[in-house]
Structure 1
């Protein structure tokens, strides 16, 4: 049997590198660009702290609007980093980090550092998982998903990078041609 951990680590590293390449040259204007009114983003609160709107699509206790808001690159980067931090904390630590504990990036430059730190910790954690644990249930810290395996969780996190990373790429493409956008 192939080593699932090694395969997942290689896949994560490949997709992560491709995503970071897509962020090269990201400006603050792009990072915060709102292509339509009412976007969710990362904004300063009354205390000056940067927070992700909609709790990063996490458990807010409030229903997500229908349809959900379009989100900025800042929001999507915050969501990707928050996925690594939140799931990593529950899988490798004490599971006490909340969205209020996260320090979201206030600029495109800070976003890269935020992502680098979040991914480094996630990657270090999955690098230490043995074959048995990959196939074991992730446990009560994951609520409804407690009986899912670590592989299931890793594949979900992988999907978050691919999904939202792709959206970031599309938003960057649209931003470069924003002067040509028009309603039709």
Structure 2
């Protein structure tokens, strides 16, 4: 039987590398670009701290807007990093980190460092999982998903990178041709 952990680690590393390649040359203007009004982004609050709007897509206790807002590259990068941080904390640590504890990046350069740290910690965590734990329930820290396996959680996190990373790529493509968008 193949080692699921090794297969997932290779898949994560491949997708992660592809995503980081798509971030090469990202500018601050592009990072914060809002293609339509009322986007969710990462913004500085009155105290000077950078916060992600909509709790980064996590549970807020409030109903999500319908339809949900378009999000900036800054928001999507914030969400990807927060996914690693939040799920990693619940899976590998004490599960006490909240969105208020996360230091979101205030620039494109800072975004790369934010992502590098979040991924490094996630990757170290999954690299230490043995075969039995991959198939074990993830536990009460995951609420309704407590009975799901670590594989299920890892595949969810993998999906977050793939789909939000692809969205970042599309936003970058649109940003480069933004002067043409009004001609549709």
Q: Does 1:123 align with 2:123?
A: yes
Number of aligned residues: 184
- The equivalent residue for 1:47 is 47
Superposed displacement of residue 183, structure 1: 5.8
> Which sections of structure 1, spanning at least 5 residues, go unmatched?
none
- The equivalent residue for 2:10 is 10
- 1 CA distance for matches of 2:182 and 2:160? 30
Tell me the SS of whatever aligns to 1:181: helix
Query: Could you say what the CA RMSD is over the residues aligned between the two structures, in angstroms?
Result: 0.6
Superposed displacement of residue 182, structure 1: 1.8
- The equivalent residue for 2:145 is 145
- 2 CA distance for matches of 1:16 and 1:183? 34
- The equivalent residue for 2:165 is 165
Superposed displacement of residue 157, structure 1: 0.1
Superposed displacement of residue 62, structure 1: 1.0
* TM-score calculated relative to the size of structure 2: 0.99
- 1 CA distance for matches of 2:99 and 2:60? 9
> Which sections of structure 2, spanning at least 5 residues, go unmatched?
none
